[in-house]
Structure 1
């Protein structure tokens, strides 16, 4: 099969996107909570949860920025066909951005919204490894939707992404929302969430 062949999307676009949206809503309203997202098939090189997210959240009114790892004919053709979205090479134009965990060496250029239009802040879809305590960054989350604190372990985040999480510079409601994806799994860290580093077994503290 050609790598740019059109593949099957949701079996029932209305029902499946509604099911997926409920899971995304739970992940956004309860930051750090792991949820499952499914898609019958996915373009080569793209995680199933990423494809499910795109089918659910992206449409003809949204612009997506792709990192070099995802800038492939098969991925672009399927996203355009199943979502009707527009792709952009300009970070400042993007409503959503899709990248691998080790690709983003800077977050400069992405929109962070404004007090009048906070919804123009980018949502970053980041494919990561959501691992256990070993060889990972341990992050403590607190804030709206979290009873006390919640810890997550993420492997391989670049310095700029960690800095964005640990040292939020934007005044609410401005900022960047993050969706961390690992195959069929999703964790969300919205701009309202406070993030700090923690110690984990066999891991050093993130600074």
Structure 2
């Protein structure tokens, strides 16, 4: 538990929690409804390192006392766990398959997608959502996305994903309606990749 001294050292959260959370929620819905499009979260957060502003906004918008969160090594090693506990009340879990959300500050530390909770036949919505920070949402290897919310197809070129990521995504997509969802983040921008979207490389 954070002491009052620890709390005083924590970075602040939203200035207007209700308004900013509502705006963030609408933006995240758009990002997932229109997969592949870059959505900007209009936030002025100064989050704890190594979180990007959009990653911190996602946490403040979607996490609460019942949200189990897994952190990769770079995020877990610094002030992020205390910041999440203080502002969101969320428990930090050590096992990937227990997580409802995973915050990956460095994609090189991303575990296999199959290590996370894919949901159940009767409750596919209980799967994990991965928030993956990348150095850029453009300029990487080109991929072609098709599926719900996409008019025909869209080309996406997310940078610096680990080798074999898209092969893992093929396996994840094949599990639909089960499977994990992904939010790619860079700075204040996000691209949603729901499990129902097919990706060709």
Whether TM-score is above 0.5 comes out as: yes
Alpha-carbon shift at residue 106 of structure 1 (Å): 2.5
Alpha-carbon shift at residue 5 of structure 1 (Å): 2.3
RMSD: 1.8
Q: Tell me how far apart the structure 2 counterparts of residues 185 and 114 of structure 1 sit (CA, whole Å).
A: 31
Look up the SS of the partner of 1:54 in the other structure.
helix
Q: Deviations over 1:149-174 (max 9, x none)?
A: 11111111113422222444643210
Check conservation: 2:137, 2:185, Cα contact below 8 A: no
Alpha-carbon shift at residue 77 of structure 1 (Å): 0.9
Count of residues in Structure 1 that have an aligned counterpart in Structure 2? 193
Residues 1:110 and 1:168: Cα distance change in structure 2 (over 3 Å): closer
Does 1:87 pair with 2:103? no
Residues 1:29 and 1:94: Cα distance change in structure 2 (over 3 Å): same
Q: Deviations over 1:117-162 (max 9, x none)?
A: 11221101100133544xx121111111010111111111113422
Q: Tell me how far apart the structure 1 counterparts of residues 172 and 116 of structure 2 sit (CA, whole Å).
A: 14
**Range with greater deviation from structure 2 (102-111 or 80-89):** 102-111
Aligned to 1:205: none
Check conservation: 1:106, 1:160, Cα contact below 8 A: no
Aligned to 1:96: 101
Residues 1:17 and 1:116: Cα distance change in structure 2 (over 3 Å): same
Look up the SS of the partner of 2:18 in the other structure.
helix
Give the TM-score of the pair, scaled to structure 2.
0.90
Structure 1: unaligned runs, 5 residues or longer: 198-207
Structure 2: unaligned runs, 5 residues or longer: 1-5
Runs of 4+ deviating beyond 6 Å: none
Alpha-carbon shift at residue 182 of structure 1 (Å): 0.5
